[in-house]
Amino acid sequence: MKAPTLATVSGFCFLSGNLIKFQVYLTTLFGIEALKSLLKV
């Protein structure tokens, strides 16, 4: 019982970490694009 649960928890943590990294990446990318458009105006 413990082994599958541990694997599920670690897998979930791994996915959560990747989602957070992806979110940060998107936010940074969007922020850079926003700054570019602001500088153009």
CA distance 5 to 25: 30
Q: How far is CA 30 from CA 17, 22, 35, 41, in A?
A: 20, 12, 9, 17
The DSSP H or E segment spanning 19 is helix 2-40
Strands (E), the chain: none
In the chain, the percentage of residues whose pLDDT exceeds 70 is 90
Give me the percent of the chain exceeding a pLDDT of 90.
46
Rounded CA-CA distance 2/11 in Å is 14
Q: Please state the pTM of the whole predicted model.
A: 0.56
- Tens digit of each residue's pLDDT (9 = 90 or more) over 16-35: 899 889 999 999 999 999 99
